[in-house]
Amino acid sequence: MMTTRCPAEVSEVQALIADALPRVQRVFDEQLASDLPSVTRLCAHVGRYRGKMLRPTLVLACGLAEGRREIGREHEVCAAVCEMVHMATLVHDDVLDEADTRRRAPTINRMNGNESAVILGDYLIAGAYHLCSTLDTQAVALEVGRVSMTLCAGELLQLSRRGDFSLDEATYLEIVDRKTAALIALACGLGARCSGADAGDGGSGGGGGVSRFERFGRELGIAFQIQDDLLDLTGRAGDLGKPTGKDLEKGKLTLPIIRHLASATPMERGRMLRLLESPLTRREELAAELARSGAIDSARQTALERVERGKRAIEGVEDSPAKALLLLMADAVVDRTR
């Protein structure tokens, strides 16, 4: 589970979630079980990518914040489904990024090649659809299908703009909203939905029911990706357990660079474009330049603002220890260093 410093009121709900996560894990493992040792071996390796369990934790915490005292089978299935979709995207993403390490473990593409990684990602996504189709309601499968399309569309948009130094902030946010925030929004919305929240906006237009949790998740997701992108520029591979500088290497412009270029003098712009031409050897120089111009701080400020917007989205949710945990998790998204 995501580690957050917890006041006493929250520790009980944290314990409830910590108790449920191994059950989520069991659902996950059972769904992927295969009679073929080669498939089992690859799935076991994916288990090493498990990190903070952010998405499953959000499903369960939003479920509890929506007024449920306990976590039911539906919450656990949705939590496992969200984690499975997430794992599928990571396995595919590492192919696209030609990444060799994730969570300090070799990537599937490095160990078994791109072909195996692509098909394993397909196995995971197919497993996720199959699993959510076991639920009585069709609503979850419909949402999971819709959001998976959104993730792919976000990734396709990003691919189409690789190496494009004219990428603007609105398009960057569009990419982030789709490739990352949509799944985190789904996790939050499904948690609330499984606790009986109204699928609409509560009729108020201002957002009740499921939609306020989705908006909370969407803002958190955007903040999460901005922070992830900052760490790609300024973090250390040893701390992150994955390579840094991948965005630069793959020609993905991220928020600090977009902001820097937007306000740069022609000379600063020329210097930045030259640094972007050899990003691997000049990452530190590049990050220092972005820090000097205030672009790093400005991106970080945007991540913090998104967290605040997320918190405001659930203002109307009745106060509870689960809601307090959600607010703590929101802060943790931008405080993390890995």
**Site residues (vs ligand FPP, CB under 6 A):** 85, 88-89, 92-93, 96-97, 121, 125, 148, 151-152, 155, 179-180, 228, 232, 242
Q: Which two tokens stand for residue 332?
A: 């943790």
Q: Which of 21, 23, 63 lies closest to 325, judged by CA?
A: 63
d(CA 197, CA 33): 32
The interface with Mg ion within residues 38-97 (CB under 5 A) comprises 93, 97
Q: Which of the choices Mg ion, ligand FPP, none does residue 148 contact, using the CB cut-off of 5 to 8 A by kind?
A: ligand FPP
Minimal distance in Å, beta carbon 99 to Mg ion? Answer: 6
Q: Which of the choices ligand FPP, Mg ion, none does residue 234 contact, using the CB cut-off of 5 to 8 A by kind?
A: none
Minimal distance in Å, beta carbon 271 to ligand FPP? Answer: 25
The interface with Mg ion within residues 96-125 (CB under 5 A) comprises 97
Beta bridge partners, 105, equal 102
Query: With contact defined as beta carbons under 8 Å apart, do 133 and 141 qualify?
Result: yes
Q: Which of the choices Mg ion, ligand FPP, none does residue 65 contact, using the CB cut-off of 5 to 8 A by kind?
A: none
| Nearer to ligand FPP (CB atom), residue 74 or residue 97 | 97
Beta bridge partners, 106, equal 101
| Nearer to ligand FPP (CB atom), residue 85 or residue 190 | 85
Query: With contact defined as beta carbons under 8 Å apart, do 223 and 310 qualify?
Result: yes
- SS3 annotation, 135-166: CCCCHHHHHHHHHHHHHHHHHHHHHHCCCCCC
| Nearer to ligand FPP (CB atom), residue 158 or residue 195 | 158
d(CA 32, CA 30): 5
| Nearer to Mg ion (CB atom), residue 212 or residue 246 | 246
Minimal distance in Å, beta carbon 141 to ligand FPP? Answer: 14
| Nearer to Mg ion (CB atom), residue 74 or residue 93 | 93
d(CA 33, CA 142): 24
Interface with Mg ion by CB under 5 A: which residues? 93, 97
